[in-house]
Amino acid sequence: MHRSAEAMVAQDEQPRHAGEAIVAQEEQLRRAAEAFRVEWLGRKQGRLNEVSSRWLKAAPPEAKKLVGQRFNEFKAKLEDLVDAALDTHLDPSDAALRAQSIDITLPGTRRLIGAEHPITRTMNEIVQVFAALGYSVGVGPEVETDFYNFESMNFPPGHPARDTQDTLIIAGQERKPLRDRLLLRTHTSPVQMRTMELEPPPVRIVIPGKVHRNDAADATHSPIFHQVEGLCVDTHITFSDLKGTLDHAMKALFGSSVKTRFFPSFFPFTEPSADVQITCIFCGGKGCRKCKQSGWIELLGCGMVDPAVFAFAQEKQPAYDPKKISGFAFGMGVERIAMMKYGISEIGQFYSGDMRFLGQFA
Protein backbone atom coordinates (compact mmCIF):
# COMPACT_ATOMS: atom_id res chain seq x y z
CA MET A 1 0.00 0.00 0.00
CA HIS A 2 2.70 2.40 1.09
CA ARG A 3 5.07 1.46 -1.66
CA SER A 4 2.53 1.84 -4.41
CA ALA A 5 1.47 5.24 -3.06
CA GLU A 6 5.10 6.36 -3.18
CA ALA A 7 5.45 4.99 -6.68
CA MET A 8 2.41 6.94 -7.74
CA VAL A 9 3.79 10.17 -6.33
CA ALA A 10 7.15 9.51 -8.03
CA GLN A 11 5.39 8.85 -11.31
CA ASP A 12 3.48 12.05 -10.98
CA GLU A 13 6.59 14.00 -10.11
CA GLN A 14 8.60 12.75 -13.07
CA PRO A 15 6.87 14.64 -15.86
CA ARG A 16 6.58 17.59 -13.58
CA HIS A 17 10.36 17.70 -13.14
CA ALA A 18 10.95 17.28 -16.85
CA GLY A 19 8.58 20.13 -17.58
CA GLU A 20 10.26 22.36 -15.03
CA ALA A 21 13.67 21.63 -16.54
CA ILE A 22 12.47 22.75 -19.96
CA VAL A 23 10.96 25.93 -18.61
CA ALA A 24 14.27 26.70 -16.84
CA GLN A 25 16.29 26.03 -19.99
CA GLU A 26 14.15 28.36 -22.02
CA GLU A 27 14.57 31.06 -19.42
CA GLN A 28 18.36 30.67 -19.67
CA LEU A 29 18.23 31.03 -23.45
CA ARG A 30 16.15 34.14 -23.21
CA ARG A 31 18.62 35.73 -20.80
CA ALA A 32 21.52 34.97 -23.16
CA ALA A 33 19.62 36.53 -26.08
CA GLU A 34 18.93 39.67 -24.05
CA ALA A 35 22.62 39.95 -23.10
CA PHE A 36 23.56 39.59 -26.77
CA ARG A 37 21.06 42.33 -27.68
CA VAL A 38 22.51 44.76 -25.12
CA GLU A 39 26.05 44.00 -26.28
CA TRP A 40 25.36 44.71 -29.93
CA LEU A 41 22.28 46.91 -30.14
CA GLY A 42 22.41 48.70 -26.76
CA ARG A 43 21.74 52.41 -27.31
CA LYS A 44 24.73 53.75 -25.42
CA GLN A 45 27.40 51.10 -25.35
CA GLY A 46 26.23 48.75 -28.06
CA ARG A 47 28.99 47.64 -30.40
CA LEU A 48 26.92 48.73 -33.37
CA ASN A 49 27.50 52.33 -32.30
CA GLU A 50 31.23 51.69 -32.59
CA VAL A 51 30.80 50.13 -36.04
CA SER A 52 28.78 53.13 -37.04
CA SER A 53 31.31 55.71 -35.97
CA ARG A 54 34.38 53.78 -37.17
CA TRP A 55 33.06 52.73 -40.53
CA LEU A 56 29.89 54.54 -41.53
CA LYS A 57 30.60 58.03 -40.27
CA ALA A 58 34.27 57.79 -41.26
CA ALA A 59 33.59 56.57 -44.79
CA PRO A 60 34.61 58.89 -47.65
CA PRO A 61 31.60 60.48 -49.40
CA GLU A 62 31.87 58.27 -52.51
CA ALA A 63 31.74 55.08 -50.38
CA LYS A 64 28.98 56.34 -48.01
CA LYS A 65 26.13 54.81 -50.01
CA LEU A 66 27.60 51.32 -50.20
CA VAL A 67 28.87 51.31 -46.60
CA GLY A 68 25.46 52.60 -45.49
CA GLN A 69 23.73 49.71 -47.28
CA ARG A 70 26.07 47.14 -45.70
CA PHE A 71 25.65 48.71 -42.29
CA ASN A 72 21.88 48.53 -42.51
CA GLU A 73 22.00 44.90 -43.66
CA PHE A 74 24.27 44.04 -40.74
CA LYS A 75 21.97 45.80 -38.28
CA ALA A 76 18.92 44.04 -39.67
CA LYS A 77 20.68 40.69 -39.37
CA LEU A 78 21.55 41.38 -35.72
CA GLU A 79 17.97 42.34 -34.95
CA ASP A 80 16.65 39.21 -36.66
CA LEU A 81 19.03 37.06 -34.63
CA VAL A 82 17.90 38.63 -31.36
CA ASP A 83 14.22 38.32 -32.27
CA ALA A 84 14.67 34.69 -33.22
CA ALA A 85 16.54 33.88 -30.01
CA LEU A 86 13.94 35.57 -27.83
CA ASP A 87 11.28 33.61 -29.66
CA THR A 88 12.92 30.27 -29.18
CA HIS A 89 11.00 27.42 -27.72
CA LEU A 90 12.57 24.07 -27.31
CA ASP A 91 12.08 21.27 -29.80
CA PRO A 92 8.36 20.77 -30.39
CA SER A 93 8.83 17.07 -29.65
CA ASP A 94 9.03 18.26 -26.04
CA ALA A 95 5.51 19.64 -26.34
CA ALA A 96 4.12 16.53 -24.68
CA LEU A 97 6.40 17.08 -21.71
CA ARG A 98 5.55 20.77 -21.60
CA ALA A 99 1.86 19.92 -21.56
CA GLN A 100 2.47 17.81 -18.51
CA SER A 101 4.11 20.56 -16.53
CA ILE A 102 1.05 20.91 -14.36
CA ASP A 103 0.70 22.24 -10.89
CA ILE A 104 -0.77 19.28 -9.08
CA THR A 105 -1.49 21.43 -6.07
CA LEU A 106 -4.22 23.34 -7.97
CA PRO A 107 -7.76 22.38 -6.91
CA GLY A 108 -9.47 20.00 -9.36
CA THR A 109 -12.42 20.74 -11.64
CA ARG A 110 -15.62 20.55 -9.68
CA ARG A 111 -18.30 18.47 -11.38
CA LEU A 112 -21.96 18.97 -10.51
CA ILE A 113 -23.47 15.90 -8.95
CA GLY A 114 -26.69 14.95 -10.71
CA ALA A 115 -29.94 14.36 -8.87
CA GLU A 116 -33.19 12.59 -9.61
CA HIS A 117 -35.81 14.72 -11.31
CA PRO A 118 -38.75 15.28 -8.90
CA ILE A 119 -41.03 13.29 -11.24
CA THR A 120 -38.64 10.34 -11.35
CA ARG A 121 -38.21 10.59 -7.61
CA THR A 122 -41.95 10.61 -6.92
CA MET A 123 -42.51 7.79 -9.38
CA ASN A 124 -39.82 5.69 -7.67
CA GLU A 125 -41.28 6.50 -4.28
CA ILE A 126 -44.73 5.30 -5.34
CA VAL A 127 -43.25 2.15 -6.89
CA GLN A 128 -41.30 1.56 -3.68
CA VAL A 129 -44.46 1.63 -1.57
CA PHE A 130 -45.98 -1.15 -3.70
CA ALA A 131 -42.72 -3.06 -4.04
CA ALA A 132 -42.77 -3.37 -0.26
CA LEU A 133 -46.20 -5.05 -0.60
CA GLY A 134 -44.75 -7.62 -3.02
CA TYR A 135 -45.63 -5.92 -6.30
CA SER A 136 -43.24 -6.21 -9.22
CA VAL A 137 -42.64 -3.49 -11.82
CA GLY A 138 -43.78 -3.62 -15.43
CA VAL A 139 -43.37 -1.43 -18.48
CA GLY A 140 -45.00 -1.17 -21.88
CA PRO A 141 -44.71 0.87 -25.09
CA GLU A 142 -45.64 4.56 -25.22
CA VAL A 143 -46.65 4.17 -28.87
CA GLU A 144 -49.53 1.77 -28.44
CA THR A 145 -52.17 0.14 -30.62
CA ASP A 146 -55.84 1.07 -30.50
CA PHE A 147 -56.46 -2.50 -29.31
CA TYR A 148 -54.38 -2.31 -26.15
CA ASN A 149 -55.08 1.31 -25.28
CA PHE A 150 -58.85 1.15 -25.85
CA GLU A 151 -60.51 -2.01 -27.16
CA SER A 152 -59.00 -4.51 -24.71
CA MET A 153 -59.68 -2.05 -21.90
CA ASN A 154 -63.36 -2.30 -22.81
CA PHE A 155 -63.67 0.94 -24.78
CA PRO A 156 -65.39 -0.48 -27.91
CA PRO A 157 -64.82 1.33 -31.25
CA GLY A 158 -67.02 4.41 -31.39
CA HIS A 159 -67.91 4.21 -27.69
CA PRO A 160 -68.37 7.67 -26.10
CA ALA A 161 -66.03 6.67 -23.22
CA ARG A 162 -63.20 7.22 -25.70
CA ASP A 163 -64.03 10.93 -25.65
CA THR A 164 -62.79 11.18 -22.06
CA GLN A 165 -59.23 10.64 -23.26
CA ASP A 166 -58.54 12.99 -26.18
CA THR A 167 -56.01 10.99 -28.15
CA LEU A 168 -52.94 11.82 -30.23
CA ILE A 169 -53.02 9.46 -33.20
CA ILE A 170 -50.18 8.58 -35.57
CA ALA A 171 -51.12 9.87 -39.05
CA GLY A 172 -51.55 7.89 -42.28
CA GLN A 173 -52.85 4.55 -40.98
CA GLU A 174 -56.30 4.59 -42.54
CA ARG A 175 -55.64 1.37 -44.45
CA LYS A 176 -54.93 -0.65 -41.29
CA PRO A 177 -57.73 -2.27 -39.29
CA LEU A 178 -58.67 0.03 -36.38
CA ARG A 179 -57.31 -2.30 -33.72
CA ASP A 180 -53.79 -2.16 -35.22
CA ARG A 181 -53.60 1.60 -35.64
CA LEU A 182 -50.95 3.32 -33.54
CA LEU A 183 -51.51 6.13 -31.06
CA LEU A 184 -49.70 7.66 -28.12
CA ARG A 185 -51.03 5.82 -25.10
CA THR A 186 -53.47 7.92 -23.10
CA HIS A 187 -52.97 5.92 -19.91
CA THR A 188 -50.79 3.12 -18.54
CA SER A 189 -53.78 0.75 -18.39
CA PRO A 190 -52.90 -1.04 -21.67
CA VAL A 191 -49.94 -2.54 -19.81
CA GLN A 192 -52.50 -4.36 -17.61
CA MET A 193 -53.51 -6.37 -20.69
CA ARG A 194 -49.94 -6.82 -21.94
CA THR A 195 -49.00 -8.19 -18.51
CA MET A 196 -51.95 -10.59 -18.28
CA GLU A 197 -51.31 -11.90 -21.79
CA LEU A 198 -47.79 -12.85 -20.73
CA GLU A 199 -48.40 -14.23 -17.23
CA PRO A 200 -51.20 -16.29 -15.73
CA PRO A 201 -52.59 -15.16 -12.37
CA PRO A 202 -51.65 -14.34 -9.67
CA VAL A 203 -50.41 -10.92 -10.74
CA ARG A 204 -49.32 -8.03 -8.58
CA ILE A 205 -47.71 -5.32 -10.67
CA VAL A 206 -47.14 -1.57 -10.77
CA ILE A 207 -46.48 0.18 -14.06
CA PRO A 208 -44.84 3.60 -14.01
CA GLY A 209 -44.77 5.46 -17.30
CA LYS A 210 -45.36 8.39 -19.59
CA VAL A 211 -48.76 9.06 -21.17
CA HIS A 212 -50.04 11.56 -23.75
CA ARG A 213 -53.32 13.38 -24.22
CA ASN A 214 -54.41 16.08 -26.57
CA ASP A 215 -55.11 18.46 -23.67
CA ALA A 216 -54.28 22.16 -23.55
CA ALA A 217 -51.49 22.96 -21.12
CA ASP A 218 -52.42 25.02 -18.08
CA ALA A 219 -51.21 25.31 -14.47
CA THR A 220 -52.21 21.72 -13.66
CA HIS A 221 -52.41 20.00 -17.08
CA SER A 222 -49.75 18.95 -19.53
CA PRO A 223 -50.26 16.98 -22.77
CA ILE A 224 -47.47 14.69 -21.59
CA PHE A 225 -47.56 13.42 -18.04
CA HIS A 226 -46.85 10.34 -15.95
CA GLN A 227 -48.92 7.70 -14.28
CA VAL A 228 -48.37 4.73 -12.03
CA GLU A 229 -50.79 1.93 -12.79
CA GLY A 230 -51.46 -0.96 -10.44
CA LEU A 231 -52.99 -4.37 -11.05
CA CYS A 232 -53.66 -7.16 -8.58
CA VAL A 233 -55.31 -10.40 -9.73
CA ASP A 234 -55.70 -13.54 -7.62
CA THR A 235 -58.37 -15.74 -6.13
CA HIS A 236 -60.73 -13.99 -3.70
CA ILE A 237 -59.56 -10.42 -4.29
CA THR A 238 -62.25 -8.08 -3.02
CA PHE A 239 -63.02 -4.39 -2.86
CA SER A 240 -61.79 -4.44 0.75
CA ASP A 241 -58.37 -5.48 -0.49
CA LEU A 242 -58.43 -2.52 -2.87
CA LYS A 243 -59.46 -0.12 -0.10
CA GLY A 244 -56.89 -1.46 2.36
CA THR A 245 -54.08 -1.37 -0.21
CA LEU A 246 -54.75 2.18 -1.37
CA ASP A 247 -55.37 3.48 2.16
CA HIS A 248 -51.99 2.08 3.16
CA ALA A 249 -50.31 3.54 0.05
CA MET A 250 -51.72 7.03 0.65
CA LYS A 251 -50.57 6.96 4.27
CA ALA A 252 -47.12 5.79 3.16
CA LEU A 253 -46.91 8.64 0.62
CA PHE A 254 -48.50 11.52 2.53
CA GLY A 255 -48.16 10.60 6.19
CA SER A 256 -50.02 8.34 8.57
CA SER A 257 -52.61 10.97 9.59
CA VAL A 258 -54.07 11.04 6.06
CA LYS A 259 -57.52 9.47 5.64
CA THR A 260 -59.02 8.13 2.42
CA ARG A 261 -62.56 7.88 1.05
CA PHE A 262 -63.92 6.20 -2.05
CA PHE A 263 -66.47 7.86 -4.32
CA PRO A 264 -68.45 6.06 -7.03
CA SER A 265 -67.00 6.74 -10.46
CA PHE A 266 -66.81 5.20 -13.91
CA PHE A 267 -64.07 3.58 -15.95
CA PRO A 268 -64.88 1.13 -18.76
CA PHE A 269 -62.30 -1.38 -17.48
CA THR A 270 -63.37 -1.53 -13.81
CA GLU A 271 -66.69 -2.37 -12.21
CA PRO A 272 -67.45 -1.01 -9.74
CA SER A 273 -65.16 2.01 -10.15
CA ALA A 274 -64.17 4.64 -7.64
CA ASP A 275 -62.29 7.90 -7.27
CA VAL A 276 -60.08 8.01 -4.21
CA GLN A 277 -59.93 11.17 -2.16
CA ILE A 278 -57.55 11.93 0.69
CA THR A 279 -57.96 14.46 3.49
CA CYS A 280 -56.46 17.73 2.30
CA ILE A 281 -52.78 17.71 3.21
CA PHE A 282 -52.70 21.53 3.29
CA CYS A 283 -55.43 22.11 5.91
CA GLY A 284 -55.68 18.64 7.43
CA GLY A 285 -59.32 18.39 6.39
CA LYS A 286 -60.63 21.66 7.84
CA GLY A 287 -61.25 23.21 4.42
CA CYS A 288 -59.04 25.68 2.55
CA ARG A 289 -58.55 27.24 -0.87
CA LYS A 290 -56.59 24.23 -2.18
CA CYS A 291 -59.41 21.76 -1.43
CA LYS A 292 -62.15 24.25 -2.31
CA GLN A 293 -63.26 24.25 1.35
CA SER A 294 -64.22 20.56 1.13
CA GLY A 295 -61.38 19.16 3.23
CA TRP A 296 -60.82 16.45 0.59
CA ILE A 297 -58.63 16.16 -2.49
CA GLU A 298 -59.25 13.71 -5.32
CA LEU A 299 -56.13 11.78 -6.16
CA LEU A 300 -56.67 8.63 -8.20
CA GLY A 301 -59.00 6.27 -10.03
CA CYS A 302 -59.52 2.62 -9.23
CA GLY A 303 -61.95 -0.28 -9.27
CA MET A 304 -62.47 -4.01 -9.56
CA VAL A 305 -61.26 -5.41 -12.89
CA ASP A 306 -64.26 -5.66 -15.26
CA PRO A 307 -65.01 -9.25 -16.38
CA ALA A 308 -64.96 -7.96 -19.97
CA VAL A 309 -61.26 -7.17 -19.51
CA PHE A 310 -60.58 -10.68 -18.21
CA ALA A 311 -62.41 -11.99 -21.31
CA PHE A 312 -59.81 -10.27 -23.53
CA ALA A 313 -56.97 -11.65 -21.35
CA GLN A 314 -58.44 -15.16 -21.66
CA GLU A 315 -57.80 -15.13 -25.41
CA LYS A 316 -54.11 -15.66 -24.54
CA GLN A 317 -54.27 -16.89 -20.93
CA PRO A 318 -57.33 -19.05 -20.19
CA ALA A 319 -56.58 -18.90 -16.44
CA TYR A 320 -58.09 -15.40 -16.28
CA ASP A 321 -61.51 -16.94 -15.76
CA PRO A 322 -63.73 -14.35 -14.07
CA LYS A 323 -65.57 -17.18 -12.29
CA LYS A 324 -62.39 -18.26 -10.57
CA ILE A 325 -60.35 -15.12 -10.11
CA SER A 326 -60.91 -11.45 -9.41
CA GLY A 327 -58.77 -8.38 -9.17
CA PHE A 328 -58.48 -4.67 -8.73
CA ALA A 329 -56.68 -1.92 -10.64
CA PHE A 330 -55.77 1.66 -9.94
CA GLY A 331 -54.06 4.52 -11.72
CA MET A 332 -52.57 7.71 -10.34
CA GLY A 333 -51.05 10.83 -11.84
CA VAL A 334 -47.44 11.30 -10.76
CA GLU A 335 -47.31 15.07 -11.44
CA ARG A 336 -50.38 15.66 -9.29
CA ILE A 337 -48.88 13.70 -6.40
CA ALA A 338 -45.49 15.42 -6.76
CA MET A 339 -47.16 18.84 -6.85
CA MET A 340 -48.98 18.06 -3.62
CA LYS A 341 -45.97 16.57 -1.87
CA TYR A 342 -43.67 19.46 -2.75
CA GLY A 343 -46.16 22.33 -2.87
CA ILE A 344 -45.65 23.09 -6.57
CA SER A 345 -48.41 25.14 -8.21
CA GLU A 346 -47.26 25.12 -11.87
CA ILE A 347 -46.95 21.77 -13.62
CA GLY A 348 -44.75 23.44 -16.28
CA GLN A 349 -41.92 23.78 -13.77
CA PHE A 350 -41.26 20.05 -14.06
CA TYR A 351 -40.45 20.35 -17.76
CA SER A 352 -38.73 23.75 -17.89
CA GLY A 353 -35.24 22.39 -17.23
CA ASP A 354 -34.64 25.39 -14.96
CA MET A 355 -31.75 24.55 -12.65
CA ARG A 356 -33.01 26.98 -10.00
CA PHE A 357 -36.13 24.84 -9.71
CA LEU A 358 -34.51 21.43 -10.15
CA GLY A 359 -31.59 22.23 -7.83
CA GLN A 360 -34.01 22.33 -4.91
CA PHE A 361 -34.48 18.59 -5.22
CA ALA A 362 -30.79 17.74 -5.30
Contact 190, 144 (CB under 8 A): yes
Q: Is 303 exposed, middle or buried (0-12, 13-18, 19+ CB in 10 A)?
A: buried
Rounded to a whole number of angstroms, the minimum distance from the CB of residue 181 to ligand PHE is: 20
Residues 6 or more apart whose CB falls under 8 angstroms from that of 162 comprise: 150, 155
Contacts of ligand PHE in 212-241 (CB under 6 A): 229
CA dist list (Å): 12 to 89, 98, 103, 138, 353: 24, 14, 11, 50, 41
Q: At what angle do helices 239-254 and 334-342 cross, to 10 degrees?
A: 40
Contacts of 53 by beta carbon, 8 Å cutoff, 6+ apart = none
Q: How far is the CB of 184 from ligand PHE (least distance, A)?
A: 13
Residue 262: CB minimum distance to ligand PHE, A: 12
Residue 262 sits in the site that holds ligand PHE (CB under 6 A)? no
CB 240 to ligand PHE: min, Å: 17
Residues 279-318 within binding reach of ligand PHE (CB under 6 A): 301-303
For residues 58 and 263, which CB has a smaller minimum distance to ligand PHE in the complex? 263
Closest approach of ligand PHE to the CB of residue 192, in Å: 7
By the rule CB under 6 A, 270 interacts with ligand PHE: yes
- Find, among 140, 144, 156, the residue nearest to 181 by Cα: 144
63 vs 139, beta carbon nearer ligand PHE: 139
Give the integer Cα–Cα distance in Å for 110 and 120.
Answer: 25
User: Would you say 92 or 160 has its CB closer to ligand PHE?
Assistant: 160
116/234 with CB nearer ligand PHE: 234
Asked if residue 162 lies in contact with residue 150, where contact means CB atoms within 8 angstroms, the answer is yes
Among 152, 154, 189, 326, interactor with ligand PHE by CB under 6 A: 189
Residues found near ligand PHE in the complex (CB under 6 A): 187, 189, 229, 267, 270, 301-303, 329-331
